[in-house]
Amino acid sequence: MLFNLLSGNLDLKSAITQVLAILMIVFLVLPFHEWAHAFTAMKLGDTSIQYRGRLTLNPLAHVDPFGALALLLFGFGWAKPVPVDPRNFKHPKLGMGIVALMGPVANIFAAIIGGLIFHAVAAFAPDFFTGEGFGQYVYLFLLYYIQINVSLAVFNLLPIPPLDGSKILFIFLPDQAVAWFYRYQNIISMVLIALLWVGVLRIPLNFLTKYVLEFVNWITALPFSFVR
């Protein structure tokens, strides 16, 4: 967002609605993302999660100020990771993979809710989104809200530590390989940040995001197709 704003690619209306969408995601969706990790971990056997203060949707328990700022400025951010003890799972690697998956699933669910609202308004109040009034702000807000949630889900599913996708990848790797990834996780994280900064990951991320967005749009438009 920062680069678009500085380059003049965002007008005031787009900037306002994008900031509002990001703030909703920071204070509502990212806590939901982390709660999904915590709730799934507890259900799979890590009952100690109940005492770590993360089985809540309270944003104060989850929001990371630097992660929120990064999301606002660069379009990719994070919340405080939920501490999970895989030793409490019957199958540690599988359990961690399932717990990791539930975070991106929460983002897709949030995007689907936004899509259903968007298509409901478009179906039953088609004139609301037209013109230059309040409806245009709602229109842009919903588009940004859906797109950012899908982008976060796709980004988190990359099989690169410390992202959620790496825990899913670890299900299929031998323990020795998993240990290697954990040993060099900090270095890999710095490489990931560098790749994001220079834009190397932009093409694959945009490609994957495009198709997930098309799926979300299709599935959320389906219930209202009879109206048109």
Give me the active site residues, please: 34
Token pair of 138, please? 């709602």
| Radius of gyration, alpha carbons of the chain | 19
Residue 114 dihedral angles phi and psi, to the nearest 5°:
-60, -40
For residue 187, give Cα distances in angstroms to 6, 76, 162, 224: 30, 19, 10, 48
Strand partners, 79: 63
Q: What angle do CA 18, 157, 82 make, to 5 degrees?
A: 85
For residues 71 and 165, what is the distance between their CA atoms, to the nearest angstrom?
A: 19
The distance of Cα 2 from the centroid of its chain, to the nearest Å, equals 19
Q: Are 219 and 211 in contact (CB under 8 A)?
A: no
For CA atoms 126, 134, 153, 150, give the dihedral sign.
Answer: positive
For residues 146 and 112, what is the distance between their CA atoms, to the nearest angstrom?
A: 8
